[in-house]
Structure 1
Amino acid sequence: MTSRPVPGPLTPAWKELTAHAKRIATVSPRELCAGSARFTDFSREAAGLLFDFSRQQLDAPVLTTLGSLADAIGLRERIEAMWRGEKINITEGRAVLHVALRQPQGAGIGGEKIARDVLAERERMLSFAERVRNGDIRGSSGRPFTLVVNIGIGGSDLGPAMAVEALREYTRGAPRCEFVSNIDGCHLADVLETADPHSTLFIVSSKTFGTLETLTNARTARAWLIEKLGESAVRQHFAAVSVNHKAMDEFGVHRDYRFQMWDWVGGRYSVWSSIGVSLAIAIGRENFLRLCFYKHL
């Protein structure tokens, strides 16, 4: 494990930056941007992205000192530790490996086992998504799914929901996707009001399968389905993304309809994990992979 870095405020670079901050605050933006080389000096290009900080309140001494601070606190070493899969999330004692979800086969981030696990689970999820999208996986009465309801909250809801909305152009021909996150029963009730139980697939997205809001909505949806089609239909109308297999067993999720995620995936990055199964159904396998690997294509 990489040693804990020196806190920024204890470094000479921090004290130097504090002095620079007082100095630069007295310089007008017009004066800072007066030179013809301002953009060249204060922009960088990397990995297909342009970082333009030429309009920020800084000059060459500030930029140099920021670099010194990064060196003093061990930023490079911490980045390398992240890629190796070390537990750099010191508050929860976890690795931070969401970057492994966006690497093509063979990248090996976090070690060979993690790379294999990510690839295998991604393929399982995408195969399921394509079969739902194409109508090969059907409901208990043999009808293809025309509505997919993702039940989650936070990162298990917001990422896929926003991506489906942003990429609506690519959802033609796919089942309609709805996202339910509010514990207020009206949210789910509005979706169920026009839903056909024979052609509705629910996806319960919860790392622990114990989040109050998500489980409350999931149980309500389950009760609705049982009332319409009987308890035996649950196995064909519910999928789930979680690490809690015992809870998924108790809920009645078919083993082929459940997908793994890992504790090293933070919620805000989980759309690239199996949490993105609703998104993959909406936009299709190839577009989902493009979203993951755009810089490698």
Structure 2
Amino acid sequence: MAAWLEPLHAQARRMGNATLRGLVDDDPARAGDFSLRVGPIHANFARQRMDREALGALLGVAGDMALPVAMRALFDGATVNVSEQRPALHTALRSGLGQGEIATRARGQARAAHERMADSIATLEASEVTDIVNVGIGGSDLGPRLSVDALKDWRTGRFRLHFVGNVDASEAGHVLDGLDPRRTAVVLVSKSFGTQETLLNGAILRDWLGSGDRMHAVSANVAAAVAFGIDPGRVLPMWDWVGGRYSLWSTVGFSIAAAIGMQGFDGFLGGAAEMDAHALESPVEANLPLRHALTAVWNRNILGLPTQAVLPYDQRLALFPAYLQQLVMESLGKSVRTDGSPVATATVPVLWGGAGTNAQHSFFQALHQGTDVVPADFIGVVHPAHGHSGSHAVLLANLLAQSEALANGCADGDPQKAYPGNRPSTVLLLDALTPRSLGALIALYEHSVYLQATMWGINAFDQWGVELGKRIAGDLLPAVSGKGEARDPVTRALLAEIHGHG
């Protein structure tokens, strides 16, 4: 076990069988004191299973591990991605808080690319294009797809946005059904311009368009994009210092900017920059991303809880759990430290979730009465974008009720109807769902993930675990096509079944 965990385990032993109900009842100021506000986001941690002394110990660990220093290193362009010998300067895409030549140069490149993207969108706005199809996968799809869906009330009305990610061509076919190729533009998003799924889908759309005249690309490999048939003037840059799952702030956000306009996109960047400044400059006891990270580590390592639910009570944020699955699980799904040694404790939780109130009618039974305790982040929006106040009151009442019920439980003479309670949750409230608040919310989770990785000594910015399956798939492609044979006996048996029904 990592040495820094021992004083935290000691705190858990001291707390014994303390319950959330007891912690709140015995500390009348807890509900307010365990809350933080940053710009448009209010966060309440009062229903996490730690008391003030345990929180103090967590904050002490954060100071001992110099987490604020690690945050400054991230912004300044230190080589935090050690396995690829790169910085991770996604913060430079939205704020100029980094110091030194590396961060300053990255900020200049980001601003120049931002201006080029604005020019490209203005050109499309002056054309007859009505629909834009974003073709990408992973970080080139999830971030833009989430943001466009979440900010649908901020759409400028000029374009309809569509997304193609899966290599399953049925998705491309369904997206193109009903679109007019003469009024459709396509943007291919791939840093390497070698992503198999994106190139295959891009070829389908290129053939459907009939030419590359209305095709754009976002890539670090301009030559490959040009070879694909895209005019170099329509290729916007990416850089190796931005990982895919951290890239929606860059020209990868082309679809977001096209949907909500450049002014809206600037507001989106501004919300993230606001959270950046807070994360970098706030003391540990008042630092929201740090508190979120410390809570996650406490639940994973001290309470031993292996999963984490994210429960947005706003249908516009229905894709947020899927977005966070990539951000959290690809970043923190590591069992080896940056120095190559095995980690000494558990790392990533399995993250899952769904939108309330729909999710209440699917998996909340397990949250309330299942044998596994699942900590949850409830996300609510105070002011909706619609005028149906009665519906919104019911939505918020359900959010508050579920958090309360998970924490407090309910005794009953019939054990089938008893709720054990003592199940932790955090509540995040957005004043409204706007470009600014969404930007701040995503940046909050980005910084929390980085701080968790720092505490565990792992690299949040590589993803070598996805490569083996890709390599095997490439080797198997001839066998799937009937022109070769698989080495693995189970795979051979499955291929026989596939070919037997071809």
TM-score by length of 1: 0.84
Q: Provide the residue aligned with 2:172 in structure 1.
A: 188
- Structure-1 separation of matches of 2:226 and 2:154: 34
> What are the within-5 Å matches in structure 2 for residues 215-254 of structure 1?
215-226=199-210, 233-234=211-212, 236-254=213-231
Q: 2:3 aligns with which of 6, 10, 24?
A: 10
1:72 to 2:28 alignment: no
- Structure-2 separation of matches of 1:113 and 1:91: 22
**Aligned residue type for 2:232:** R
- Deviation, 1:205, is 0.5
**CA separation of 1:218/1:9 partners in 2, compared to 1, >3 Å: closer, same or farther?**
same
Q: Give CA deviations for 1:222-254 in whole Å, capped at 9, x if unaligned.
A: 12223xxxxxx31x2110001011211211211
RMSD of the alignment, in Å?
A: 2.0
Q: Give CA deviations for 1:78-136 in whole Å, capped at 9, x if unaligned.
A: 11111110011234332121111222xx545553211211111111112211221x22x
1:160 to 2:123 alignment: no
1:55 to 2:32 alignment: no
- Which segments of structure 1 move beyond 6 Å, counting only runs of 4 or more? none
**Aligned residue type for 1:147:** D
- Deviation, 1:171, is 2.4
Give SS of 2:6's match. Answer: helix
> What are the within-5 Å matches in structure 2 for residues 59-138 of structure 1?
59-103=51-95, 107-108=97-98, 110-132=102-124, 134-135=125-126, 138=127
Q: Provide the residue aligned with 1:274 in structure 2.
A: 251
Q: Does structure 2 conserve the Cα–Cα contact (< 8 Å) formed by 1:101 and 1:273?
A: yes
- Structure-1 separation of matches of 2:232 and 2:192: 17
Give SS of 2:2's match. Answer: helix
Q: Give CA deviations for 1:153-196 in whole Å, capped at 9, x if unaligned.
A: 11111111121122222324312111001111111112223222
Q: Provide the residue aligned with 1:147 in structure 2.
A: 131
Q: 2:265 aligns with which of 288, 293, 297?
A: 288
Give SS of 2:247's match. Answer: helix
Q: Does structure 2 conserve the Cα–Cα contact (< 8 Å) formed by 1:130 and 1:284?
A: no
- Structure-2 separation of matches of 1:252 and 1:41: 58
- Deviation, 1:25, is 4.5
Matched positions, count? 271
Q: Does structure 2 conserve the Cα–Cα contact (< 8 Å) formed by 1:151 and 1:204?
A: yes
- Structure-2 separation of matches of 1:264 and 1:114: 8
**Aligned residue type for 1:10:** A
Deviates more, 1:46-55 or 1:27-36: 46-55
**Aligned residue type for 2:9:** T
Deviates more, 1:178-187 or 1:38-47: 38-47
**CA separation of 1:120/1:108 partners in 2, compared to 1, >3 Å: closer, same or farther?**
farther
Q: Provide the residue aligned with 1:30 in structure 2.
A: 21
- Structure-2 separation of matches of 1:192 and 1:271: 24
**Aligned residue type for 1:24:** M
Q: Provide the residue aligned with 2:368 in structure 1.
A: none
Q: Does structure 1 conserve the Cα–Cα contact (< 8 Å) formed by 2:89 and 2:103?
A: no
**CA separation of 1:223/1:267 partners in 2, compared to 1, >3 Å: closer, same or farther?**
same
- Structure-1 separation of matches of 2:255 and 2:189: 10
- Structure-1 separation of matches of 2:16 and 2:191: 46
**Aligned residue type for 1:20:** Q
- Deviation, 1:38, is 1.2
Q: Does structure 2 conserve the Cα–Cα contact (< 8 Å) formed by 1:107 and 1:115?
A: no
Q: Does structure 2 conserve the Cα–Cα contact (< 8 Å) formed by 1:25 and 1:57?
A: no
**Aligned residue type for 1:128:** S
Q: 1:263 aligns with which of 240, 255, 265?
A: 240
Q: Provide the residue aligned with 1:20 in structure 2.
A: 11
Q: Provide the residue aligned with 1:3 in structure 2.
A: none
- Deviation, 1:17, is 0.5
- Structure-2 separation of matches of 1:292 and 1:25: 44
Deviates more, 1:46-55 or 1:68-77: 46-55
Give SS of 1:111's match. Answer: helix
- Structure-1 separation of matches of 2:154 and 2:40: 24
TM-score by length of 2: 0.51
Q: Does structure 2 conserve the Cα–Cα contact (< 8 Å) formed by 1:24 and 1:57?
A: no
**Aligned residue type for 1:87:** T
- Structure-1 separation of matches of 2:115 and 2:39: 26
Deviates more, 1:41-50 or 1:88-97: 41-50
- Deviation, 1:48, is 5.3
1:177 to 2:170 alignment: no
- Structure-1 separation of matches of 2:19 and 2:245: 37
Structure 2, unmatched stretches of 5+, are 275-435, 437-502
Q: Percent identity?
A: 37
- Deviation, 1:274, is 0.3
**Aligned residue type for 2:20:** P
